[in-house]
Amino acid sequence: MEGGWPVSEANEPKAKVVSEAIEPEAVTDIQQMNMIQAINSALDVMMGRDPDVVVMGEDVGYFGGVFRATAGLQQKYGKNRVFDTPITECGIIGVAVGMGAYGLRPVPEIQFADYIYPALDQLVSEAARLRYRSAGEFISPMTVRSPFGGGIFGGQTHSQSPEGIFTHVSGVKTVIPSTPYDAKGLLIAAIEDNDPTIFFEPKRIYNGPFDGHYDTPAKSWAGHDQAQVPTGYYRVPLGEARVARAGQALTVLCYGTMVHVVENTVAEMGVDAEILDLRTLVPLDIEAIERSVKKTGRCLIVHEATRTSGFGAELLAQVQERCFYHLEAPIERVTGFDTPYPHSLEWAYFPGPVRIREAINKILKD
């Protein structure tokens, strides 16, 4: 059973094999990796373990992906398991739905999250509904990888954060890592999962954490404790938040790039904030959120996506419903604006240290 629905008899043996492989294997080799390398390692591990895992997308094969996240995989596993597709996002996801129904575990890549919209019908009407409308006869165990978010001067067509759209769709899981260690463990867990998963990769932190100060030199993952990644199999369970920083003054709910921006901002301010890295938006670790907010009595929500109907609105509602009598100040949100992502004014749009600092001061003042 997964998600309350039985898988079909034809798929059941596959599901059992995958579900048994939960505990990490004995891994002695730990390597420093950036997020791209960690994602590549996760794909390599899963393709080596399961011959039904296939990777597909625009330029993922010979070229190794626009960010090189699939580099070397076609050479190692062949063109039948790592293959380039036409430039048709609807077709990529449509084919992946069929693959999953026939027992494969496809990992399609959408080159940028901004281009995922042509695939919405296949994701929403087919992949997300397949288990439900077939009464468990078929499943759609695909993991859709896609770089998302701004911070690289990609403009309006290479910077969007559409995660809120998918959290609204019943039957789809939404995952967003913030570190190389989590990126590998979460991707492995997503590939093993029997439900379709949207795996958004914050491209601003592919090569290093970002503190929000765009005018300072870029940092690498070198020396970061979360960049020490086992080379073998391990998994980070979906639906479990990570306490990125323990604190007492207020709770900050964030994910992806914003985790690092918030960490740096509270360090600069000297505020004893508790930072929760949500890691997965669906399923949401509401117990961890409730526990933290009831402890601190204050809550700030930070995300890069547009404000109206962004996932922060759902988080605000959940906190208000569950923690109202523990709150000592109104909940605040720091988000992107309700406009296309601007190129020339990127850092005015980006929820950076200045706006986060103002929101924290307001919460602590109330």
Half-sphere exposure of 3 (CA within 13 A, CB side): 25
pLDDT reading at 88 higher than 60: yes
Contact 119, 93 (CB under 8 A): yes
Same fold yes or no, 30-214+216-226 and 239-364: yes
Q: How many residues does the chain have?
A: 366
| Tens digit of each residue's pLDDT (9 = 90 or more) over 94-152 | 999 999 999 999 999 999 999 999 999 999 999 999 999 999 999 999 999 999 999 98
Taken in order 180, 182, 184, 190, the sign of the CA dihedral is negative
| Helix spans in the chain (H) | 12-20, 35-49, 73-77, 89-101, 120-121, 130-133, 163-167, 180-192, 257-269, 286-296, 311-323, 346-349, 353-365
Distances (CA, A) of 97 to 23, 130, 136, 239, 243: 28, 9, 15, 24, 35
Query: Quick one: pLDDT at residue 166?
Result: 97
Which phi and psi angles does 175 have, rounded to 5°? -125, 135
Q: Would you kindly state where each structural domain of the chain is located, as residue ranges?
A: 30-214+216-226, 239-364
Q: Is residue 13 pLDDT above 80, yes or no?
A: no
26 — pLDDT class (breaks 50, 70, 90)? low
Whether 158 sits among the annotated catalytic residues: the reply is yes
Please state, for a pLDDT cut of 70, what percent of the chain lies above it. 92
CATH number of 239-364: 3.40.50.920
Q: How far apart are CA 329 and CA 250, in angstroms?
A: 10
The pLDDT of 322-328, averaged and rounded, is 98
pLDDT band for 11, please (50, 70, 90 cuts).
very low
- CATH code for 30-214+216-226? 3.40.50.970
Report d(CA 329, CA 298) in Å as an integer.
Answer: 6
Amino acid occupying residue 104: L
Give pLDDT tens digits for 55-65. Answer: 999 999 999 99
Among 158, 260, 303, 343, which one carries the catalytic annotation? 158
